Structure formats: structure tokens, C-alpha cells
Structure 1
Amino acid sequence: MGWERLLYEVRPTHIHHHYHPLCFGSSGGNMYHRKCCFVCSIALLPILFVLYGQVYHEAQNSESETHTVAIPGWSYNTSRDLRRYVLPDNVTAIIPQLDLCSSPELFLLVIVCSAVANFKARAAIRETWASAPSMTNSSSSIKVAFLLGDPDNSTLQELVEEESLQYSDIIQEGFVDSYNNLTLKSVMMLKWVTTNCHSVWYIMKTDDDMFVNINNLVSLLKVRNMSNLLVGALICGARPISDTQNKWYAPHYMYQGTLYPNYLSGTGYIMSRDVVLRLYHAALKTPLFHLEDVYLTGLCAHAAGIRPRHHPAFTYNKRKLDACLYKDKTVITSHRVNSSELRKVWSEMNSPQLDCSGFTATTALAAQKSGAKTGKQRVMSIKRSSKCF
């Protein structure tokens, strides 16, 4: 039966039903013994309540943990050892795209994490910001590539292979391409760069619903050679979400802390090659967490001794669709820009009739704040702190 079972059986309200012969004999005993036993019983009550309370809460916690809603694909008993999925000693790429890093002086590689079926989004990116003057004038030193997983669908796979043959910008790794595998996708990006891009200076990770001003990004990076660089839109004081219906729900069995470490929004961030190596090695020793930006730029960066830093040109918000704003030197990224919006703003940005003479940094900031009010943002859900350290 054991001590734990006995503790569960203690019920303070039952004390008066168990008479002690010293206190309550068959004839009732004398008054002194009765008073003595009454005082002893009262004195024991707090101890019994403490024991009962402790065991009750342990039982409640155990029951709560058992009934926690699991993340699809990452249940309580699923191994979160990244080495089991990334296989660092094996080739895992379905389409390795080795020619991407053939240039001995690759300055910047932008890797767009894209869902397999998002053919239109990739096409729009190729036709817009991936064809910026910095790209066409320095084709050997700046590249844009798309990272995909395995669709487990032969028709989709055939289309991806045709796309790769046509554009030579598809990297495909052999993991199931799903939302809850975004962490695997990002770590596979680190693995691919570590294995295949020995001469690249900087790597940007972004998504396929993003606008990226390549010209401004290159100007920022060419100010000086930088190492130990991990920069983007910094999120501080974020709390794990316990609402199981929320897109960013985090079960207790995956993360036990009350706050996340400071991290960069996964919508777009830049890192130097030395940081890629350090994050990759840290990831191989850090239990997987399904929210890739928290995991990679928060947990793994902390483990590797890397401090993520904020730059106002990066945002997780959708900026106002203003061509002058998107051309302004204060802007590198904008989020939630769909294919038609991307083509529209890009066409306006490159129009000879565009007049931005009256556009200033002040109006750019006002437009950015206006854009930040649209849509439900993740950082609003997690009650982002405005104070970053």
C-alpha cells in the first residue's frame, strides 16, 4: 500500500469518528482526559490539513499533466531529440541544390521557408523582391532560395521537381512539411548551410508571405563586417499560451518556464555564418520545441551564448501598402503580404511616375504604426513586454 496511499486516505473530517480509549472510554472517562484529548485533536488538525493539501495538489498536477492537450505530432511521449530527425551524419536532402553556394564569394543567402503547395507565393517573390537591383547586379554574391519539406504526395512532388529544374532555387529536405514541423525546417536550414555553404557571410531566414527590401538589407550589412550577428524583430517578455485553441499553444510538458527567453520573430531575421554553426550545434543538444522562432533564436541562442538583437527595419507586422514606405531606407521587411499585394506594391515602387519627394521618415513611422493595427498579431496574444534587455 505504501506511504503515499496512506496519505491519500487521510481525511481530517473523519477524526471525530475514531475514538481513542484514553479520551473516550466506554464510560466517557474523566473530564481532564477529555480536555486533554480535545486539545491534542485540535493541535493535529493543521498537520493533517497540510499533508492532505500537499497530496491533493500533487494528484491534481499529475492529473492535469496527463490530460494536457498534446501538440499534433509531438505528444507527451514523443522523443524531442533533434538528432533523431535531423540525422546530422547523414544526407537527408531530397533536392540538395548544391550549386547555390558554388560562388567563392557568396555575401548573402536568403532562405525562404515555404509550404510545398505555395507555388504562387514563390513565383511572386521571384518576380518582385528577389529580382531587386542588388540581385541582378551581383548575381554571384546574393542568392534567394526556397526551403521545402516532403509533401508525401506524388503529384505535388512532381511539380516541385519541375519547379526546381526550371529555377534551380529549391532546397528540399526529407521531413514531413507541416506547421508543427517548422522547427525541423529551420534546423534543416542550419544543417544545409553548415554542410554546403562554407564561404557565405550572412544568411537570412524568412517566410513566403514576406516582403524583403534586399537593397536596404545589403546596405545594412555592408556597413562593416560583422560576426556574432543575430538580428531581427525582437520579442521580449512573451509568456507561453495555455489556450489549447490558440495557434501558438504551448503545453507544459514541452515548456515549463513562465516566460520565453527574448527571441526574434520567425518572419525574418539575419545571422552571420558563425551564428549558424553555433545555433546548429546548440539545437542538436536542445529538446525540440514546436514554435521555431522561440526555439531557435530564443532557447538555442541562449544555450549558445548568442544575444538576439532588435533592428527597427524588421517587423512581424503588415506595413501599410505604400510604395514610398517600402522603398524607404527604414524598411527591410513587411509581413502578411500576399502575392497580388506583392506584385502591386513592387510595380508601384519601380514606376517612373512614383514621386516620394514629400515622403519623410516621420510619415514612414506613422504608416508603419497604421499597418501594425491591422490583423490579430501573435505578440498581442502573448502580451509582449515593451521593455527589452
Structure 2
Amino acid sequence: MRLCMVLGAFIVITLINASFSAKESKYVHSAGGFPMRHKIEKNVFSKIPSRRPSKNHGSNIGNYPLTERSNKPEEKNLRPIKGISSVQTSSAAPLVLDRPVLTMKIYEPGHLNKDIDIKRICGYGGKYLKLLILITSAHSHFTARMSIRHTWMNYGSRRDVGIAFVLGRTTNATLNAALNKENYIYGDMIRGQFIDSYINLTLKTISLLEWTDTHCPRVKYILKTDDDTFINVPKLLAFIDGHKDNRTIYGHIIESAKPNRQRASKYFLPYHQYGGSVFPPFATGTAYLLTGDIVHELYVHSLRTSYIQLEDIFTGVLVQSLKIKIVHASSFYNRRIPFLPCTIRDAISIHDIKENEIYDIWRKQMDSTVKCKTVDRSN
């Protein structure tokens, strides 16, 4: 009897083991004996796309995917751009690059030109256009754009003058809708593919060069300026008529300036972006005039040049490399000046102007009751 009980117990244990073995065999990898469920889980996660820079010339600075409900990056999914140790969408601090990076790996070409009136701004590729004025502006500067539209931008109605604003793009849905509406109404906003921020001003300058090269290659002169600058268009046109140079940039020229190596500074520039002790001569970015024959060269060469986060320094490096002539003109002011009628009329550009001040300057410029002596400031 005892023997029968032992044999019965043995048979039951054998049947139980066989049952468990059959169940486990469903998960056993045929090659190595590892549970197949681990492989299945790995394949599921491998289908989740990683956040990588665009294949089209890489990703631009600050160009991380954002949620539609917020303009803040989804931090848990961020991947640093190769070669960049600190990527920032805020203008609170300057960008820091680990090593030299070719601009073509940062800049994404192309524009959002759905509602822009290209024919009015630059018809026939600029064949009949003497002057194209491109005004760099930020998304939130609606009031500044309107003050310009109400004043000196009126000269854009001339057949030989085209004027437009240049902005980047935004992933803020509310702001983007407002910009789309504004551009639908006015049709004067060129919008590049880069994220619009202070640290991307170099990308913004490249974007306006690209747009001009693509849509307005036959224009004779291009003025690059900012939306806090007043432009005396009649004075500028008179200046152009008195200068027939080729391959030239005119503006307020800075010479013998030295790089700022203080990391806390807004103008900080690390050695690997610019290793020299002195900058080449450069025109301050508030306003400078280009002859149309150098736009293509500047655009193409900019993509092949190591990125510099200070856009006027970057342009100065390009100008030196391409042996373009750079000429100082005293009527280009990179600062505020007294708001007196004759002083205003003697200036081509006045910088650091507030939205409400531009109307006063415009009124004084147009006041025909005030007579001024002619001053030659062609140099």
C-alpha cells in the first residue's frame, strides 16, 4: 500500500511539471532559451520614434518639438543637438557651443510664404526695384510693426521700393494663429523655418538672404534693419543715387572691437566660435545697406561657415572672407539722436526707437514748415 501511494505521488508530480513546461514553452526563444515576451516588449518600444534633428540641414537652435498647449519644451523627451551643450529658446542667456559647427547643420532653409504678397514686395524678381527693405521683427512686436506700417513703411507703395518684415516660426498655436491673421491682412511678413528668438538672429539674417536670393535676385540694393529703427527712406534713396559701387556694404562700421569672453554677458563669444583677439570690421546690425550683387555669395558662403551667434560679427566674417568692400556712412546711426526736424532729416537710420516715438519722428520729418540747411553726409 505504501509503495502504491509513493508511485501515485510521483505520477501526480510528473504531470504537474509537464503542465508547467508546456506553458513556459510558449515564451521560450528558439535560439537561446530566453523568454520571447522580452523580445516582444523590446520591439514595441523600438517603434516609438526618437526626436531627431531634421534631415534637411539638421535642426536649428532651440528647435525642439513643443506641445500644442504650451511653448515650453517637453523636457523628458529632449535630445541634445550633436555638438551643442546648451540649447535655449530663451533670450535670457547666450548660446554655448561645444565646438565649431557649420551653419548648414543648424540652418533649415525655406519660408512660410502662404499669404505673403511677393508680387507687391518684389515683382518680376526685383527687375524694376531699386531698394528692398527687410525689417527683422519678433513675434510679439505687433505694435512696433503697426507703427512702422503707419509711418515710413508708406514708401513701400512706390514702384521702386519694396518693404517686408522678417520673422521665424513659433510652435505656440495661439501666437501662430495671430501671425497668420496679421499676414493675411497685410501680406508683408516673411517667415523662416527657424525658431524665432534673440539667440537665432544669425539664422534670421541668413533667412532674409535666402528669401532675397530666391524671390528678389535682381534688386539693386537691400537694407537690413530692425523694428526698433526709424528709416528715412528719401535720405536713403538719395544716398543710393550718389553711390554706384559694386560688392559693397554701407553702414555704421565698427573697427578693432574685441570679443567678450565673459559668459554672463549678452555678447559672450567663446573661442571656438571666434578665436581671434580682434573682430574684422563689421556693420552694426541695426541697419546696413547691401549691393544686390553680393546676396547670393553671402547666402551660399554663410552655410559653409562656422556658426557665430552674434549676427553682425558673423556677417563681418563673411564680408572679410569674400573680400567685400565695407564703407562707413555717418548718416547710419546705431543709437538715439535728438528728435529735432533737421537732425532727423539728416539721418538715414535712427536706432532704439519706441513704438510711440516713431509717430513723432515721422511728423517732424514730414513737416514742410521747417526748413533745414543741406548737409553733405555721403561719407
Does the TM-score normalized on the shorter chain lie above 0.5? yes
SS in 2 for 1:102: helix
CA contact (8 A) 2:115 2:187 kept: no
**Match of 1:302?**
320
Contact 1:230–1:275 under 8 Å retained in 2: no
Q: Go from structure 1 to structure 2 and tell me whether the alpha carbon gap of 1:172 and 1:305 turns closer, same or farther (over 3 Å shift).
A: same
Letter in 2 for 1:86: Y
Deviations 1:242-287 (A, max 9, x none): 2222211112232211111110000000001111112112211110
Post-superposition offset of 1:303: 1.2
The answer to whether the 8 Å contact 2:139/2:167 transfers is: yes
Match of residue 137, structure 2, among 111, 114, 134: 114
Instruction: Determine if the alignment matches structure 1 residue 356 to structure 2 residue 371.
Output: yes
The number of aligned residues is 285
Distance of 1:169 and 1:72 partners within structure 2: 28
Q: 1:129-157 CA deviation, whole Å, 9 max, x = no partner? A: 1124xx44xx2210110000012211111
Which residue number corresponds to residue 356 of structure 2? 340
Q: Secondary structure at the match of 1:334?
A: strand
- From 160, 164, 173, give the equivalent of 1:154: 173
**2:214 is aligned with 1:195:** yes
**What does residue range 346-385 of structure 1 map to in structure 2 within 5 Å?**
346-352=362-368, 354-357=369-372, 361=375
Give the alignment of 1:236-247 within 5 angstroms. Answer: 236-247=255-266
- Asked if 1:233 is matched to 2:238, the reply is no
Contact 1:95–1:172 (8 Å) recurs in 2: no
1:108 and 1:203 in contact (8 A); partners too: yes
1:340 partner amino acid: N
**1:70, 1:251 within 8 Å by CA — same for their partners in 2?**
no
Distance 1:95 1:156 in 2: 17
Q: Of 292, 295, 300, which aligns to 1:273?
A: 292
1:77 to 98, 102, 105: 98
Report the equivalent of 1:314: 332
Counterpart-to-counterpart distance in 1, 2:151 and 2:375: 24
Matched, 1:248 2:267: yes
Q: Write out per-residue CA displacement over residues 333-381 of structure 1, whole angstroms, 9 at most, x where no aligned residue.
A: 11001111111121233235x4235x6759x9xxxxxxxxxxxxxxxxx
% identity of equivalent residues? 29
1:263 aligns with 2:282: yes
Structure ranking higher in helix proportion: 1
Residue among 74, 98, 102 paired with 2:123: 102
Do the aligned partners of residues 123 and 92 (structure 1) sit closer, same or farther apart at CA in structure 2, a change above 3 Å counting? closer
The 1:190–1:250 alpha-carbon spacing in structure 2 relative to 1, beyond 3 Å, is: same
SS for the counterpart of 2:308 is: coil
Deviation at 1:102, TM superposition (A): 1.6
Residue 293 of structure 2: SS of its match in structure 1? helix
Distance across 1 between alignment mates of 2:104 and 2:294: 19
Cα distance in 2, alignment partners of residues 160 and 80 from structure 1: 31
Partner deviation per Cα, 1:177-203 (whole Å, 9 max, x = no partner): 011100000011111111111221111
Q: Do residues 141 (structure 1) and 156 (structure 2) align?
A: no
8 Å CA contact retained: 2:133, 2:163: yes
Q: Aligned partners of 1:258, 1:152: CA distance in 2, in Å?
A: 39
Listed one character per residue, the Cα deviations across residues 12-58 of structure 1 (whole Å, up to 9, x for unaligned) are xxxxxxxxxxxxxxxxxxxxxxxxxxxxxxxxxxxxxxxxxxxxxxx
Counterparts of 1:112 and 1:315, CA distance in 2: 16
Matched, 1:125 2:134: no
Counterparts of 1:96 and 1:322 in 2: how far apart (Å)? 39
Taking a change above 3 Å as real, the CA distance of residues 96 and 244 of structure 1, as seen in their structure-2 partners, is farther
- Aligned to 1:156, the other structure's residue is in SS state helix
- How big is each residue's C-alpha offset from its partner over 1:185-231, in whole Å with a ceiling of 9 and x where there is no partner? 00111111111112211111000000110001111112354321211
The residue type equivalent to 1:102 in the other structure is: G
Report deviation, 1:71: 7.7
TM-score (norm 1): 0.68
Q: Distance in 1 between matches of 2:237 and 2:312?
A: 23
SS of the aligned residue for 1:146 comes to strand
3-state SS in 1 of match to 2:223: strand
Tell whether the 8 Å contact from 2:99 to 2:272 is kept in structure 1 after alignment.
Answer: no
In structure 2, distance between residues paired with 1:144 and 1:327: 20
Letter paired with 1:276:
V
RMSD: 2.4
TM-score (norm 2): 0.70
Q: Is the 8 A contact 2:230 2:350 kept in 1?
A: yes
* Aligned-partner residue type, residue 311 of structure 1: A
Q: Which amino acid aligns with 2:152?
A: W
